[in-house]
Structure 1
Amino acid sequence: MAPQEQLVAGRYRLLHTLATGRMGKVWLAADEVLHRQVAIRKCVSPAGLGADEQEQVRELTMREARAFAGIGNPNVVSVLDVLPDEDEPWIVMEYVASRSLLQVVQDSGPLPPARVAAIGLAVLHGLTATSRTGVLHLDVEPASVLIGDGGRIVLSDFGPPVTDEGVHAPAPAGTVPGSARYVAPERLAGGDRTAQADLWSLGATLYHAVEGRPPYAGKPLEAIGVGTPDPPVRAGPLTGVLEGLLQCDPAARLLPSEVEDRLRRVAEPTAPPAPPPAATPKPARSRHVRWAAAVAAAAVIAAVGAATGTARDGHRPGAHPTVTASPTARRAVVLPPDFTWWIDPTGFRVAVPRGWRHSREPTGELTFTAPEGRPTLRISRSAVPPDDGVAALIAEEDRVRLGSYRRIRIEALPAPHSAVWEYTFQNRSGGQLRALRRLQAVQDHGYAVEWRAPTTAWAAQLPKLTVVLDSFGPAAGR
């Protein structure tokens, strides 16, 4: 019987493989009783274990699954069922349509500090919730952090079972459990497995997200624990958090409460105070402002998705963190010399490259086109309320019919933006294009800003896209 035809427990029909790891393979399956999709994992003991050790792994796996089933935290993948088997148990989990943090960084490059901090808050909440059950994760890495299509951040792919009392699944001699570049130094040295080890792995994961590579990249594993990782260059306000987590001595690492406080300050920066009433406002400088001479690809990510779009629920552990911003805040933007302002009569302004042609459809859609025909910038009014951005983009995705379509992401964004949809497709001429569509509010109106460029030229056009997205907002005097 082919794997995709297998019916587990007379209920779960395997569809296709989602992932393969040290502790087994994960399939997407159809629950034929409740008519929903689930993720189901066939647990496998690590190779090289004796019969007694394999039985210990099975027992701990069942204990771990039962513990996770009672967590009920939105930042931890939910366990729905545990199915004992003659060979190895099956664990049925919720299916989260998502990309891993590793995929996000591979597709889009290093992420901005604010967004990484928001992701870190969600992962920290997940780790805190699991630690209350007496079970540790011990496999935190970019591949085990899922960025859901709706903005939800979920911790998944728990490693070899281990309890906080130190009882853990044995590993074959000479092997390093977990992904070595994200494993705490004390674990590499065969020491205790504690919650502090998960914090080190959290730091290594956030380092990768903001720097685009793991700490100690290019160095032998022996360097972990005896030296410090390369100083981060993109982390900015996250630098102190990374340094506090990546301490070789577990006792010197930041406490979870300290990590949460520091991450929240980066993810939710305090807005600058308003000028005193008596102060004379300076003339608006709508055509001049700040411009970084060298725009890195990471800046585009900052403009496109500065944070996850999950809803903030105070400071309650387990709540979805997000970055908030004032929808009325108007940033000054200094334009490069090859850009000019377009002031639209409908109430918005946007910076566009000089020499680009513009046209307007009867529907009101405005299109700017490069002299060579690509890239293109399209701006249209959107009747969708900003809060419904992700749902609207998913519904729009269901309606479109594009050749060789592949979604890169659909994510919520902080105000005044609503959501972003990034994808690739093939046009009628056979050209491979990449597109980014962002919804946002300007005053009381919603707009969709879409950028399309050849896939091969996407990276080279990122600086232009950064300027466009960063500049879009209300026209002067609005």
Structure 2
Amino acid sequence: MGSEGSDERVIAGRYRLQAALGRGGMGVVWRATDQLLGRQVAVKELVPDDSPSAARVRSSRDRTLREARALAQLQHPHISVVHDVVEHDERLYIVMELIDGGSLADRIAAHGPVDAREAARIGVALLGALRAAHEDGVLHRDLKPANVLIESGTGRVVLTDFGVAQVEGATTLTESGTFVGSPEYTAPERMSGSGTGPASDLWSLGVLLCAAVSGESPFHRDSLGGVLHAVVAAPIRPPAQVGPLLPVVRGLLERDPDRRLDAVQAERMLREFLATGSTPEPTSLQRTQRDRLVIALLVAAMVAAGVSAAALFMTGGGGEGGGTPVSPTPSTSLSTSVSPSPSGPESPPK
């Protein structure tokens, strides 16, 4: 992972910050040296909120602590490790395992999309990480290429940035009417406010697989309203590049979370592809008359709540950056004139 600048300073009498590895809306990640143990680490610094509101400052602080606590309780080779949390000059810092290597988003930008086999390998690793997180009551809620690191030399896949994670039993940081996450990777049930669960992270994985092989999310549009419509109502067209991974992608991009592939099924299918070169069709997804009702119910829920596309995303904090940018547009409300589409994705054009 390249550095963006240098700022030699020591925090908490122990960690020497040496170079900025990346910056996002909520913080800066530094390459640093733990002078006590003599090892290289990554240090995430919370950027002070410019808002004079004491509530906003507390919210930013709580968000940092939430990420640290979420990561600290997870032990998995594909999840970044937290070593320490320190406070210095009234700023919080999370000291983490240093992963030498860029993100999947960096890799795609520099070298183009990956092939189906590499996407499957990445998918298997992320499914293991998500299963471990979900079993411990942690939902990531912001799975996207920018939050997946690929270690140089080993190719190890590491899920990072739990800044907007939802931890079971913890008070939510999102206020009423705000949204956290990256729109193009967010499940439709979260868009409609009808709830979130492990299945929502699996939808995001399906989008990530599409982006890995094609270079962008299939829900990328030029406006926030366009993204919202694409996720909730428009026909889902996986890119042709998904090729043999289509059965997995179709299963993960089911708009009805009850019919979506679970982590065990998805991992089994990806492993079979890696072993044999072919992917079995999922056995548990049966098309029903209920399909036509799913999108109508989601759209109706959003209309009833008076949710507008711009208000939904511009009032809440996104992830740590790195997603496909979308242009801000005036507030655009969905209306019931949107024609519902079937729940599942269409096959890509041949």
TM-score (norm 2): 0.70
The residue type paired with residue 157 of structure 1 is D
Measured at CA, do residues 158 and 82 of structure 1 come closer, stay the same or move farther in structure 2, by a change above 3 Å?
same
Relative to its length, the structure with more strand (as a share) is 1
Question: Match of 2:158, SS?
Answer: strand
Residue 164 of structure 2 is aligned with which of 156, 160, 164?
160
Q: Could you say which residue in structure 2 is the equivalent of 1:201?
A: 204
Within 5 Å, which residues of 2 pair with 1:209-248? Answer: 209-218=212-221, 220-223=226-229, 224-248=231-255
**Structure 1 pair 172–39 and aligned structure 2 pair: CA distance change class (3 A):** farther
What residue in structure 2 maps to residue 38 of structure 1?
Answer: 41
Q: Which amino acid aligns with 1:259?
A: A
Q: Is the 8 A contact 1:100 1:146 kept in 2?
A: yes
Q: 1:187 is matched with which residue: 190, 203, 228? A: 190
- Runs of 4 or more off by more than 4 Å in structure 1? 44-50
Structure 1 165/199 Cα, relative in aligned 2: closer, same or farther at 3 Å?
farther
Amino acid at match of 2:190: R
What is the CA–CA distance in structure 2 between the aligned matches of 1:181 and 1:94, rounded to whole Å?
A: 28
- Between 1:222-231 and 1:14-23, the stretch displaced more is 222-231
1:264 is matched by which residue type in structure 2? R
Q: Which residue of 1 aligns with 2:21?
A: 18
Residue 296 of structure 2 corresponds to none
Whether contact under 8 Å (2:183, 2:228) holds in the other structure is no
Measure the CA separation in 1 of the matches of 2:42 and 2:18.
10
Following TM superposition, by how much is the alpha carbon of 1:71 offset from its aligned partner in structure 2, in angstroms?
2.3
Identity of aligned residues (%): 38
Q: Does structure 1 conserve the Cα–Cα contact (< 8 Å) formed by 2:221 and 2:227? A: no
**Post-superposition shift, 1:64?**
3.9
The alpha-carbon deviation at position 128 of structure 1 amounts to 1.4
Q: Which residue of 1 aligns with 2:264?
A: 257
State the alpha-carbon separation in 1 of the partners of residues 79 and 40 from structure 2: 17
1:176 Cα shift? Answer: 4.2
| Aligned AA (1:128) | R
SS in 2 for 1:6: strand
User: 1: distance between equivalents of 2:200 and 2:79?
Assistant: 18
**CA 1:88–1:136 in 2, change beyond 3 Å: closer, same or farther?**
farther
Structure 2: state its 5+ residue gaps: 279-350
Contiguous gaps of at least 5 residues in structure 1: 272-478
What letter matches 1:31 in structure 2?
D
Question: What is the deviation of 1:131?
Answer: 2.0
Decide whether aligned partners of structure 1 residues 82 and 199 sit closer, same or farther in structure 2, where only a CA change above 3 A counts. Answer: same
Counting matched residue pairs gives 269
| CA spacing shift, 1:54–1:132, aligned 2, 3 Å | farther
Q: Give the secondary-structure state (helix, strand or coil) at the position aligned to 2:163.
A: coil
Structure 1 distance, partners of 2:80, 2:202, is: 19
Q: Which amino acid aligns with 2:260?
A: R
Partner of 1:291 in structure 2? Answer: none
Query: What secondary structure is seen at the aligned counterpart in 2 of 1:81?
Result: strand
Quote the offset at 1:159 in angstroms: 3.1
Match of 2:273 among 219, 244, 266: 266
Q: Deviations over 1:355-389 (max 9, x none)?
A: xxxxxxxxxxxxxxxxxxxxxxxxxxxxxxxxxxx
* Counterpart AA for 1:109: G
Cα distance change of structure 1 residues 45 and 6 upon mapping to structure 2, 3 Å threshold: closer
Query: Deviations 1:197-255 (Å, cap 9, x if unpaired)?
Result: 11111111111001221112236122211123323201111111111111222222111
Q: Decide whether the 8 Å contact of 2:16 with 2:32 is kept in 1.
A: yes
Deviations 1:241-299 (A, max 9, x none): 1111112222221111111111111222269xxxxxxxxxxxxxxxxxxxxxxxxxxxx
Shift of the 71–48 alpha-carbon distance from structure 1 to 2, 3 Å rule, reads same
CA distance in 1, matches of 2:15, 2:49: 25
- Structure 2: distance between partners of 1:128 and 1:209: 21
- Mapped to 2, the partners of 1:10 and 1:192 lie a distance apart of 43
Pick closer, same or farther for the CA change 1:266–1:48 going to 2, 3 Å: farther
Equivalent position of 2:71 in the other structure: 68
Distance in 1 separating the partners of 2:33 and 2:60:
27
Shift of residue 48 of structure 1?
Answer: 6.0
> Which amino acid counterpart does residue 122 of structure 1 have in structure 2?
A
Q: Of the two structures, which has the highest relative contact order with CA contacts closer than 8 Å and spacing of 6 or more?
A: 2
